[in-house]
Structure 1
Amino acid sequence: MEMSDLPDWDSDWAVDVDWDLVAEEATLGGVPPPATVGVPPPAAVGGPPPAVGGPPPAVGGPPPAVGGPPPAVDFPFPFAPYDIQRQFMSALYDLLESGGVGVFESPTGTGKSLSLICGSLKWLSDWEERRRLQLELALAPPTTTTSAPPTTTSSAPPTTTLAPPPRAQAPDDWVASFVRGKAERERLETLKEEERRRVRREERVAEMRRDPRLRLLSKRKREEDRDIERLMALSKSGDGDDGGGGGGGGGGGGGGGGGGGGGGGGGGGGDAADEELIVDEYESDDEEKAATDRGFDDDDGEDGEEPHVTKIYYCSRTHSQLAQFVRELQRSPYGASTRLVSLGSRQTLCVNAEVRRLRSLQAINERCLELQRNKPRETRAPQEEGCLSDKKRRRRRRGGGAAVSGPCPYRAPSSVWEVSQAALSRPADIEELAALGKRLGGCPYYGGRAALPSAEVVVLPYHTLLNAAARRAAGARLAGQVVVIDEAHNLVDTITDIHSARVTGSQLCCAHSQLTQYLHRYRSRLKAKNVMYIKQILFVLDGLVQTLGGKTGANPNLQTLTSPGTEVRSINDFLFAAQIDNINLFKVHRYCEKSKVGHKLLGFVERYMEQGMGQVASHSSTSSPSTSSLTSFLTSLRTPGSQAIGEAGGGEGGAAGGGEGGAGGGAGGGGGGEATSRSSPLLLVQSFLSGLTNANTDARVVLTREATLAPSTLKLLLLNPAVHFAEVLRECRAVVIAGGTMQPVSELKQQLLLPCGVRPERIVEFSCGHVIPPENILPIILSSGPTGQTFNFTFRNRDSPTLVEEAGVTLVQVCAVCPGGVVCFFPSYELQRTMSHSWQHTGVWQQLSTHKKIFQEPKSAREVDSVLAAYSCSANAGASAGGALLLAVVGGKMSEGINFSDHLGRCVVMVGMPFPNARSPELQEKIAYLTCHVRGEGGRDAGSSLCENLCMKSVNQSIGRAVRHRGDYAAVLLLDHRYRSHGSQLPGWLRGSVVAPPSLAVAITTLRQFFVDRKAASTSSSSC
């Protein structure tokens, strides 16, 4: 055969491949591909479902999946669900089936969490059942079937066939046949392996649930492994401990004799303990290529990790809300069969007492990673540790890097595996998972990560899901999965806050000083690429400090700035002003992440700061001058009267009214000597540098110059949160955004969903009414006080003595007719203090105290629980005690996430409207961005409606603290005439019941009659 007779491989190979077969293999072979949010939807939500494992169909849709969903889904529920709960679950099921984005609004008290659980898990169980049927069908042996009578004139009788008769093949059809046969064999092997994994997974979990003795056997095996490991360590260290001392002494002598010449001479050649503080060799180009080829970070998962099953990621704002969700799931019909895992930080899950003692999250993360790098031969048995002298034990625990020798005893693979399997056997929240790890002797942090691939429900906080780096570090993979974001009324602000960054002048100076000392000490031991990047970081730090008006060579507490004030710059302008526009910040930030130079620096500072405080003088002959200057610099930052590193960051956040510090601290929050020694300012700078890599239009830099350099700040303000949420929408099959009050939804769509490329027809909105009857809620808009003074609590008028007096007298009359507890919200801390102080001098305070015992929102978050407990006792004390009055702040510690049900919140009073501070430079930049880049509904300017939306969201959240269940009742009193024009933005379940009496007298009469009727109805129902 001539060469010309051979097939053309470059052209014919691709032509004859059966791509339908390849597509079928992709559909059946593994985790379903993501349902891209932006693709055209089905004709209607709940229409023909997509093929199992595939994305949502295009218009016209493919044939339904095997055994598609039943026409009317029967949802398992712990009791007969309300109609609105059934509607909620049906809409949720349709959304998960078709894919897309859903905005679900269900008022607090309507069983939203239970509806989310039962609706989503019903879909997941149906999905898995259809998936299992498809696997069985695909793996079933071929059965013989009788073919239809032939249509040709042949006289041959009907035959039993396995396939259609072979068609005439072209000479090169053997290539296509080979490819088709190979693809079919590989497909079957993949399906068989997937089925084997599924069976093994279910058997493991069933055995752990059924037979607790397996845990004991696992624990015994783990103890045997530890005994073997300890014996091997002792046998290896028997000679090493004796010989190591002489070797170390020789190394030290050599270092002393020849160390005078270079930068490393100060440390000597015998500084073997410093090896762990040296950054590894780094080649950015090779690393970048490897990361691109790999498509996933080496640190994000282990090789050979079990493929992820289809799962539901549920996230919420706080650990208490996540724990409440887990408890609801435990009580649901799915509680006994669902594989759930809770993800959290090392700070919440670490069970190693030596590590938990550090308290700082950065220090805990670094120590955990350090213990994993330690070799097993350094492990000592507990009885060995007891044999050490007190002096040796103190020396082992004193330094930064050598505080805990040997690997973490909770990190053994068998221990982690045991925790992961136990976690999957029964749903557990964060605290229960930590207790489980402590009881089983395994790490719950890594146990949760190990259980992640097999979990059906993953519970995690906002930051872990919405931050890409945290998501990868936790091992969460969103491709083809379902994400449920609960309590999402502040989702836009949450994403903005997560990806904004803030550093102080003291942190910048400290990072520069620490890194300078690090470079001086280890320069001769660092690779050239590391030295180059460290010098670039130092150059960047110097430029950042100069933009604030300071310099890096002096104590920031003593540097006085000549022009205090606030300035906002675009990213490009800021980079030019700092003279770092020629630096590739993408590479610098990647170097910081991959080399972990921030963590290395933390260990370096801890070691030489803690040891150097009392020993630098005695070791001055062997320590470099730079190390001594490091200790001096850090000591100056901790002297009385100076501001500690991280202390200047507290107090950011605050009430919606733009008053004073609120519930959250800034990026550098903490303070005190412990925060100084246990946190790395370079890690904070690293977050700021990451923000500088945003597009020029997506962020701004806010420079706040104080009287001195130390408290002055640089803040990276994110203006376009959609750029960071787009990845979640792009990867997931469906995203559910749920909350008790989601109005106004237009803000969510304009700022987050539409800019991400989500088509309007792919956004499903569901809003249900409240379970309470209309007669159980009384919303009143009160426009004037007892003398007819108009309530107009604008920023200009709210300090008016007449207005303050009118509000106080109104509150007295309200407290006189309302039973139980009354919660009064103010727009800001400043207005609360102003009114309280005025009332104490005019006698209003004394009148209030005759009707109710008065409580005020505490300044410290640690006092919230005690104040709430005392308020609850007074509010529930009965009619003879009069009840209680709680003065709180919108956007403060008590306006969200706290339950004021029944007698705790019989009346909610809203004084004024909590508009944000319009003079804030950050708010002005946000308004300008929205005006230029976001199109509002009905042609309205999105920027101009921002303040109004922020205000009404805060009002709706505060109102939602009351009326928590079907039998509850409460009144809502809105003291400001402006609510008349903003009533359309109140919650839908409340809007239809709003009344606006012409005077205070009529309002009090209406209020009194409401409580009389509710008391009578309650007495009547209880007697029945």
Structure 2
Amino acid sequence: MEPPTEFLFPFPAYQIQKEFMNQLYMCLENGNLGIFESPTGTGKSLSIICGAVKWLLDHENYKKNDLIDKIGVLNMKLIEIEKKKSTDWFNVQVGQLEIQKEKQTLQNKLDLILRYEEKMSKIKQKITANGEKLCHKAKFAKSASTNLIKGSDEKYNDLSDDHLILEDFSDCSDESDEESDRYESTKIYFCSRTHTQLSQFIGELKRSPYTDSVRLIPLASRLSYCINDSVKKLKHLSLVNERCLQLQRKKMTSKDERNVKKSKITTNCPFLPGNQESLKTQILGGIKDVEDIVQIARELETCAYYSSRNTIEDGHVIVVPYNSILHKSTRSSLGINLKGNVLIIDEAHNLLDAIERMHSTEVNGRNLLHSFNQLTEYQNRFESRLSAKNLLLVSQLSFCLKKLIKFLGGTSKSDPEDEVAEKVSRLYTLVEFEVLAEIDTINLFQLMDFVKNSKLIYKLQNYIDKVGSTVTIHETRKKKTGVSGFLKSLQGKDLEAEDNSSNENTKPIENQSNSFMVVMNFFECLKNNSCDGRIFLLPASTLGQAALKFVLLNPAAHFADIVTDARAIILAGGTMEPMSEFRDQLFANAGADPARIHIFSCGHVVPKANIMANVLTRGPSGIDLEFNYQNRENGKLLDEIGRILVNFCNIVPGGIVVFLPSYKYEVTVNKHLEDTGILKKLSGKKHIFRESKLASEVEKTLEEYTKSIKSPQNPRNGSLLFSVIGGKLSEGLNFSDNLGRCIIVIGMPYPNIKSPELQEKIKFLNENTAPNAGNIFYENLCMKAVNQCIGRAIRHANDYATVVLLDKRYAHKSKSLPNWIQNSLFVTDSFGTTVRSMAKFFADKRKKDVSSV
């Protein structure tokens, strides 16, 4: 297909938006791997929607029309054969049969499409006829087994142990390759990092010209979709997942059911199956957000999570969070099939890091001891009822657990609080680790297949639920330690909750049943290629706190199957530089053909005159500004920060956002400004705010910051917000218009070069990508974080702002900045010149604002 000459857009599109849609359309048509950069504020989301959905609808129409045309050509051939008079009747008959066979194959494909279109048309008619009130009329028809619903959070006490016995394990797969008799439409899977970003995308789709043409399916976790209050109150994703699956596993005979009714014990979730067809119809009938679907699900008293999953096959655009796409087992469990479909990853600037985090995990001694004791109790209880093959594999798993406990310095009879000889922190390749841990004789691939196919995790979970607290390690355990981080390592973890400071504010969660899942995730990591990751030994004084951590070094290893399966992949973001990282570390290392890789970068919709960017190399006193680690406590440099901020607060209207390299340095700067009286002086001109480490307080801070700018109190002319690079305010938030008239970045946020994990990553890239790739990666870690901060200010075509980079090292980093900043960038060692330029910039804007009123 050729690109269209016009794209539907909700308003007259800018030229860069037209170019974006055109390039995107052809990238999808040609099956390319695209890296698309469009600065924040340029309508990136709408450009993605209008370009991609236009292609999708054209592609679906083309498939149908192509079949019709081919069938028409074959019909003409049959007519021509009939008209020809030939004595060679045998060859004529054979030719007719061959054409008829080919025609029938095409006709079958066309019939599937036509039936599918008819089905979708009926759904639309049903929604229209009911005036979007179907959910109020449809009532939940409870099945016999779901009438027993009261007290679904009570401890479950099953009537027999049959459900606890492991499934027979077979090395052979039972998957069938039979062709489906239904039409599989082409789909666009759109994913982003947070639920908020996905909601914004859905809102943009509602604004687009395609709101009535596209069927959107938003996928989310059980935690987001669950309407069973007794399950949802567990609050943690892994606990909600376990409880949901547990409720579904309770099967009974009619006799058992009568007994359970009498004892008032729950047997399953009251919202499954429920009236799922009605909810699916509602989802397909119009664009709805997760919250909309949850509300309808409550009215229908049916499960929103499974309804949305079961609607995927009929959707056009499937909206999913990062982890649902990037984690293979999660992708499989959700029924997501990327084969021949399109994947668009928005906010992809942190994609490499996200894949590495998702496939890295940590297990501590407490997890291992819990798991070993649970498995031992289970094996002792059911040993006589397990098949020989299953018993052997359970024994192998116990063997591995004992060896890992020994590796940390304990034994299977140890207590988590037992002191161990504290070892030196070390790192190992996977092969080295397995040999030293003495588990190299075990076939881990077979063992993990056994865990999955025999449903060991769920059987063990049910057993633990049944026997309750009888499975313990030692009565001497008094305090809870070392498991606060394990939830992050679980399969299907919620990426939205991740941030640099989360460990500091997370209370430990003691849940023995989760330990086994953590351990299995660690064993799953050992299946990686030896060169793709490393095992780190994290020693501690007690066995329970000592840990093993797997760190993925090669994200391409878990992206290769996506590159192979998907028709096209689009990585989009406001700042995608350095694009070479995605090209070399992701696509190329995943085995992609270089010819498939397509790069597009556009300018900003904001005119050059609306942006003033400066690299300031010297302060008001002429001191060189270099905020490296050695100079950060330098009193003279801290004094210069105070003088700079006082001058800028006198000039800049509205809001100033100051980004500092770390929370620790933010505290240092504020303490110095307070001790010297500068903070009091600043607060006379601007209302002072500081970013909190606590995620729960960020929204409150933003609300108060916004309010103080919109309603300033004399003599103040706005507000000043101290933030942290890489913190909660440096990504995904808008400081448009008066909220961010000036962005100041103090210093360069280089990560700790002495970190063993970082050193190993640098070494890996130098050895496997290019001789200097690791060093470039280290530099890029810093500049990517800076670029995200810069992008917080300019949000629309009429916006204007200044950007000031305080550090002389930025003078040599201009090429690492976004193109739209480079075009307006000045490097100066004169503070006076910078102040005068800034004063003139805002004076001109005030005049323009007054004249436009």
| Same-fold call, TM cutoff 0.5 | yes
1 CA distance for matches of 2:736 and 2:209? Answer: 26
CA offsets per residue over residues 361-408 of structure 1, 9 Å max, x none? 2232222223323347679999x99x97xxx55xx3xxxxxxx32x32
* 1:204 pairs with 2:123: yes
* C-alpha contact (below 8 Å) 1:233/1:378 kept by paired residues: no
Alignment partner for residue 903 of structure 1, among 738, 741, 744?
Answer: 738
Cα distance change on mapping 1:134 and 1:358 into 2, 3 Å: same
2 CA distance for matches of 1:982 and 1:452? Answer: 45
Identity %, equivalent residues: 36
* 1:482 pairs with 2:342: yes
Question: Which residue in the other structure is 2:825 paired with?
Answer: 994
Greater CA drift, 452-461 or 182-191: 182-191
Cα distance change on mapping 1:468 and 1:175 into 2, 3 Å: farther
Question: Which residue in the other structure is 2:657 paired with?
Answer: 823
Task: State the AA in 2 paired with 1:643.
Answer: K
Question: Which residue in the other structure is 1:472 paired with?
Answer: 332
Task: State the AA in 1 paired with 2:45.
Answer: S
Alignment partner for residue 546 of structure 2, among 696, 712, 715?
Answer: 712
Alignment partner for residue 696 of structure 2, among 862, 873, 877?
Answer: 862
Greater CA drift, 160-169 or 449-458: 160-169
Question: Which residue in the other structure is 1:280 paired with?
Answer: 167
* C-alpha contact (below 8 Å) 1:481/1:734 kept by paired residues: yes
Question: Which residue in the other structure is 1:631 paired with?
Answer: 472
Question: Which residue in the other structure is 1:839 paired with?
Answer: 673
Task: State the AA in 2 paired with 1:598.
Answer: I
* C-alpha contact (below 8 Å) 1:650/1:669 kept by paired residues: no
Q: Secondary structure at 1:460's aligned position in 2?
A: strand
2 CA distance for matches of 1:231 and 1:978? Answer: 69
2 CA distance for matches of 1:902 and 1:788? Answer: 32
CA offsets per residue over residues 649-690 of structure 1, 9 Å max, x none? 5899xxxxxxxx944657x99644xx3237511111111111
Q: Which has the larger radius of gyration?
A: 1
Give the superposition deviation at 1:187.
Answer: 3.9
Give the superposition deviation at 1:915.
Answer: 0.9
2 CA distance for matches of 1:773 and 1:1001? Answer: 25
Alignment partner for residue 229 of structure 2, among 313, 329, 353?
Answer: 353
Question: Which residue in the other structure is 1:16 paired with?
Answer: none
* C-alpha contact (below 8 Å) 2:709/2:739 kept by paired residues: yes
List aligned pairs for 1:640-719, cutoff 5 A: 642-644=479-481, 646-647=483-484, 649=486, 662-663=499-500, 665=502, 671-672=507-508, 675-677=509-511, 679-719=513-553
Question: Which residue in the other structure is 2:413 paired with?
Answer: 553
Cα distance change on mapping 1:78 and 1:811 into 2, 3 Å: same
Give the superposition deviation at 1:903.
Answer: 1.5
Question: Which residue in the other structure is 1:755 paired with?
Answer: 589
2 CA distance for matches of 1:232 and 1:850? Answer: 65
Cα distance change on mapping 1:604 and 1:337 into 2, 3 Å: same
Give the superposition deviation at 1:971.
Answer: 1.0
Give the superposition deviation at 1:712.
Answer: 2.4
Question: Which residue in the other structure is 1:412 paired with?
Answer: 273
2 CA distance for matches of 1:853 and 1:75? Answer: 46
Question: Which residue in the other structure is 2:434 paired with?
Answer: 575
* C-alpha contact (below 8 Å) 2:146/2:270 kept by paired residues: no
Give the superposition deviation at 1:85.
Answer: 0.6
Cα distance change on mapping 1:481 and 1:166 into 2, 3 Å: farther
Give the superposition deviation at 1:141.
Answer: 10
* C-alpha contact (below 8 Å) 2:135/2:282 kept by paired residues: no
Task: State the AA in 2 paired with 1:735.
Answer: I
Give the superposition deviation at 1:475.
Answer: 0.8
CA offsets per residue over residues 444-498 of structure 1, 9 Å max, x none? 1111111111100000000001111111111111111111100000111111111
TM-score, with structure 2 as normaliser: 0.92
Cα distance change on mapping 1:167 and 1:789 into 2, 3 Å: farther
Q: Secondary structure at 1:423's aligned position in 2?
A: helix
Question: Which residue in the other structure is 1:46 paired with?
Answer: none
Give the superposition deviation at 1:218.
Answer: 7.3
Task: State the AA in 1 paired with 2:2.
Answer: P
Cα distance change on mapping 1:724 and 1:175 into 2, 3 Å: farther
Question: Which residue in the other structure is 1:368 paired with?
Answer: 244
Task: State the AA in 1 paired with 2:458.
Answer: H
1 CA distance for matches of 2:506 and 2:466? Answer: 21
List aligned pairs for 1:193-592, cutoff 5 A: 193-212=112-131, 215=134, 219-220=138-139, 222-223=140-141, 226=142, 229-230=143-144, 272-283=159-170, 285=171, 288-291=172-175, 294=176, 306-375=182-251, 396=265, 404-405=266-267, 407-412=268-273, 415-563=275-423, 565-592=424-451
* C-alpha contact (below 8 Å) 2:189/2:317 kept by paired residues: yes
2 CA distance for matches of 1:474 and 1:232? Answer: 24
Q: Secondary structure at 1:697's aligned position in 2?
A: helix
2 CA distance for matches of 1:985 and 1:605? Answer: 54
1 CA distance for matches of 2:282 and 2:255? Answer: 27
Task: Mark the runs of 5 or more structure 2 residues left unpaired by the alignment.
Answer: 149-156, 490-497
Give the superposition deviation at 1:86.
Answer: 0.8
2 CA distance for matches of 1:353 and 1:764? Answer: 47
* 1:950 pairs with 2:781: yes
Give the superposition deviation at 1:214.
Answer: 8.3
Task: State the AA in 2 paired with 1:816.
Answer: N
Task: State the AA in 1 paired with 2:242.
Answer: E
Question: Which residue in the other structure is 1:608 paired with?
Answer: 467
* C-alpha contact (below 8 Å) 2:464/2:513 kept by paired residues: no
Q: Secondary structure at 1:770's aligned position in 2?
A: coil
Give the superposition deviation at 1:753.
Answer: 1.0
1 CA distance for matches of 2:710 and 2:16? Answer: 31
Give the superposition deviation at 1:128.
Answer: 1.6
CA offsets per residue over residues 691-741 of structure 1, 9 Å max, x none? 111111111111111222222221111111111111111111111110000
1 CA distance for matches of 2:426 and 2:218? Answer: 42
Task: State the AA in 2 paired with 1:433.
Answer: I
* 1:599 pairs with 2:458: yes
* C-alpha contact (below 8 Å) 1:821/1:907 kept by paired residues: yes
Give the superposition deviation at 1:89.
Answer: 0.6
Question: Which residue in the other structure is 1:133 paired with?
Answer: 65
Give the superposition deviation at 1:354.
Answer: 2.4
* C-alpha contact (below 8 Å) 1:96/1:482 kept by paired residues: yes
CA offsets per residue over residues 523-564 of structure 1, 9 Å max, x none? 22322222222221221122222222233322222323333x
Q: Secondary structure at 1:559's aligned position in 2?
A: coil
* C-alpha contact (below 8 Å) 2:37/2:602 kept by paired residues: yes
List aligned pairs for 1:678-827, cutoff 5 A: 679-827=513-661
2 CA distance for matches of 1:435 and 1:305? Answer: 34
Q: Secondary structure at 1:757's aligned position in 2?
A: coil
C-alpha RMSD of the superposition? 3.1
Cα distance change on mapping 1:124 and 1:558 into 2, 3 Å: same
* Number of residues of Structure 1 aligned to a counterpart in Structure 2: 836
Cα distance change on mapping 1:651 and 1:178 into 2, 3 Å: closer
Question: Which residue in the other structure is 2:55 paired with?
Answer: 123
Task: State the AA in 1 paired with 2:53.
Answer: L
* C-alpha contact (below 8 Å) 2:615/2:827 kept by paired residues: yes
1 CA distance for matches of 2:483 and 2:242? Answer: 18
Task: Mark the runs of 5 or more structure 1 residues left unpaired by the alignment.
Answer: 1-67, 148-159, 235-269, 297-302, 397-403, 613-626, 653-660
Task: State the AA in 1 paired with 2:484.
Answer: E
* C-alpha contact (below 8 Å) 1:315/1:485 kept by paired residues: yes
Cα distance change on mapping 1:161 and 1:535 into 2, 3 Å: closer
Question: Which residue in the other structure is 1:154 paired with?
Answer: none
Greater CA drift, 845-854 or 914-923: 845-854
2 CA distance for matches of 1:331 and 1:583? Answer: 56
Give the superposition deviation at 1:850.
Answer: 2.1
Alignment partner for residue 1006 of structure 1, among 837, 842, 848?
Answer: 837
Task: State the AA in 1 paired with 2:529.
Answer: A
Q: Secondary structure at 1:74's aligned position in 2?
A: coil
Cα distance change on mapping 1:166 and 1:587 into 2, 3 Å: farther
Q: Secondary structure at 1:825's aligned position in 2?
A: strand
Task: State the AA in 1 paired with 2:309.
Answer: R
* 1:982 pairs with 2:841: no
